[in-house]
Amino acid sequence: MASLVKLFVYDLSQGMARQMSLGLTGRQIDGIWHTSVVVFGQEFYYGQGIFVSPPGTTVHGRPVETIDMGETHLPPEVFMEYIDNLRSTYTAEKYHLLDNNCNNFTNDVCQFLTGKSIPSHITSLPADFLNTPFGQTLRPMIESFFSPSAHAPTAASTTPFAPSPSSALPAVISASASPLQTATSLSALTHHLTTNRAAVVFFTSATCPPCRMIEPEYERLVTEKNDTMRGKGRVIGVKVDTGVAFDAASKYSVRATPTFKFFLDGKEFHEFKGANASELKSSLDFLVWTAYPPHPHTLIQSLRHIPSLSTAPILFSAIGNLDSLFGKLDSVAKDAGAEISPDERSVLDKVKALLVQKKEGKPPATDLNVDKWDATFARLLFILPLQNHFPLLDLLRLLLLEKRVAAFYSRNPDTIIEVLQRVNVTNDAPANVDGTQNNPPKSLVLMTLRVVCNTFSNPALPETHLLSPSPAAHRASLTALLVSSLLSTDATVRQTAASLAFNIAAWVAHGRTGENVGGASGTVATAAAWVEDEDWEIEVASAVVGAVETETEEEIVHRLVSTLAHLLYLVPQESALPNLVTVLGVPEIIEAKIKNGIVKGEKVKAVCGEVVVVLKKSLEAGEGK
């Protein structure tokens, strides 16, 4: 009798790999995969040895994917004998994150049972990771976690600890991210010096009282310096015990401890001997200032508004007349001949109850099944004519401000992408015979813009799926919507498009400063995923400049100029963006807006003036190179 063989796939990063991998590695990695084999009513997996559990009851929770590997005709007793034979190969001591892991085990098992290999994107993950610059940087540290220790316990000792796959990778990344490192050999020290622009090396010894005295201050100064530099650079502190790393001490002629040596781009920059805390601080400050000179914009003492300009996303949270909204949805569904099923009606009733509670300021007591909501939304989106999507999109707009819903769409973005692409398809429709354009309905464009703006309530969603330069993302669709909407003849559409432009620019500003991005949902997206993209920023800025030039509404001008402020402030000094917007006439455009009385408010005038100052400073700094 044949037995089904299933492969359970888990993401040990719990979505973090998808969000952060592009920024860390330059390559999109959708998950850190752990797999197990389910057969004969049991789940078999490898970590600290081979384990067997009832399916779905392991510490890894629920699988993100179940893959059908086929059937096996082997009897259970033959399989269990095979597993027993594997126990000597897949032991706790032999676990290796890169070379002998859970996926190697499941691949062997599946080949034995069905003759099939598990998917290659799972087995090739370690090689894919190591082929990135970040992977090459981490390889020595990963090896130190898993290679046999030189001080391994004897046979009479307890079994050596082997990190589990779920704990090892976070530990490796956390250790590599720390600004405080230890080098036990010259090769380890060289690795740190060649992979970090700025480094301070603390040569110490176990028998040195002054070393013990200065060490806490050394650790504090290095840690605090990195905290204050968030996203603007990194200085690493490397502790070297001369009694252990003899070759390192010899290489750098260290004959007394404590000795502090400072390195810039791998070359010795400065040194001093002794436990002098004030000299350590001043030397560290000078190293950092040399390695990471302050941006010219930070030296403009007259700037008051741009540095403190809000980077909170503009969200559309107003809840209107819900009876009217749901009535409109029923009406357009009826007109389209779209029958709403009892299950879908139940979902919509729960959505309404949740929004009523929110409008009344009550904590939501309705348990909304987001999967069912998404299925209901997707079906109605497909059935209803484009011009009647307004009420459906309005519900999506409001639900995106709910944490659970926003988190769901950050993991399952297909619906958001479909909404975005539908309005762009309409925008790209060919012109009529008489030359007129089949423009999409205003309501469709407006609600799509508001939906996209509200995705910023959970920064992981736009960051991963709308703003990333990855081919898997949909930044081109987002940009197309923005550019066309900024030129709309309708002021409400232009104002909403200006809000979207502001949200994009605020995300850019967060990326440059290295700060965490917190939206209304409280979700945090790390700046590790940030990658400066000059060409795209120029495209966005060009559209914004064109919109400013033709805009006559002061509030819209305010949002657009604030967008330019975020795009220009702290822009990389080698960027062509300041030159481009100057050529496009931004200083003259801003002056004309003030002179013609379109810009009247003092705060708006101040931001306009500071944009011109920032531009001038960037151009001066470029000429001085």
Q: Work out the pLDDT band at 384, boundaries 50, 70, 90.
A: very high
The domain that holds 280 is classified in CATH as 3.40.30.10
Instruction: Give the residue, 175 or 83, on which the prediction is more confident.
Output: 83
CA distances from 506 to 374, 572, 575 (A): 29, 16, 18
State whether 232 and 107 are in the same domain: no
The domain that holds 59 is classified in CATH as 3.90.1720.30
State whether 11 and 142 are in the same domain: yes
The domain that holds 589 is classified in CATH as 1.25.10
| 195-199, 396-400, 502-506: range with lowest mean pLDDT | 195-199
Overall domain count for the chain: 3
CA distances from 209 to 257, 258, 268, 281 (A): 9, 9, 26, 20
120 is a domain residue: yes
State whether 606 and 515 are in the same domain: yes
* pLDDT, tens digit, 9 for 90 and up, residues 541-597: 999 999 999 999 999 999 999 999 999 999 988 899 999 999 999 999 999 999 999
State whether 281 and 141 are in the same domain: no
420: tokens are 């975005």
* pLDDT, tens digit, 9 for 90 and up, residues 229-249: 766 788 999 999 999 899 999
Instruction: Give the residue, 535 or 168, on which the prediction is more confident.
Output: 535
Spatial CA neighbour of 368 closest among 393, 356, 352, 350: 350
Amino acid in position 6 = K
491: tokens are 């002021």
333 is a domain residue: no
Amino acid in position 359 = K
Q: With a cut of 60, say whether residue 73 has pLDDT above it.
A: yes
Neighbouring-strand partners of residue 37: 7, 44
Residue 270 catalytic? no
State whether 118 and 14 are in the same domain: yes
Q: Work out the pLDDT band at 284, boundaries 50, 70, 90.
A: very high
388 is a domain residue: no
State whether 124 and 187 are in the same domain: no
Domain boundary, last residue among 228, 259, 293: 293
Domain boundary, last residue among 258, 293, 328: 293
Annotated active-site residue in 60, 73, 96, 102:
102
State whether 245 and 182 are in the same domain: yes
State whether 88 and 234 are in the same domain: no
State whether 451 and 582 are in the same domain: yes
Range(s) of the domain holding residue 245: 177-293
389 is a domain residue: no
Domain boundary, last residue among 234, 266, 293: 293
Query: Residues 6 or more apart from 309 whose CB is under 8 A from it?
Result: 509, 562, 565, 566, 569, 607
Peptide bond before residue 258 is cis, with ω within 30 degrees of 0: yes
Q: Work out the pLDDT band at 266, boundaries 50, 70, 90.
A: very high
* pLDDT, tens digit, 9 for 90 and up, residues 150-204: 333 333 333 334 444 444 444 444 455 578 999 989 988 998 898 889 999 999 9
Q: Strands across the sheet with 259-264, in order?
A: 180-183, 235-241, 198-204, 259-264, 267-273
Q: With a cut of 80, say whether residue 470 has pLDDT above it.
A: no
Specify the pTM: 0.65
Instruction: Report the C-alpha gap between 113 and 105 in whole angstroms.
Output: 12
157 is a domain residue: no
Residue 34 catalytic? yes
Cα four-point dihedral sign 80, 86, 92, 98: negative
State whether 229 and 91 are in the same domain: no
State whether 7 and 132 are in the same domain: yes
328 is a domain residue: no
Note the pLDDT of residue 235: 94
Note the pLDDT of residue 460: 84
Query: Could you tell me how far CA 28 lies from the centroid of its own chain?
Result: 11
The average confidence (pLDDT) of the chain is: 85
Q: Work out the pLDDT band at 375, boundaries 50, 70, 90.
A: very high
386: tokens are 């484009």
568 is a domain residue: yes
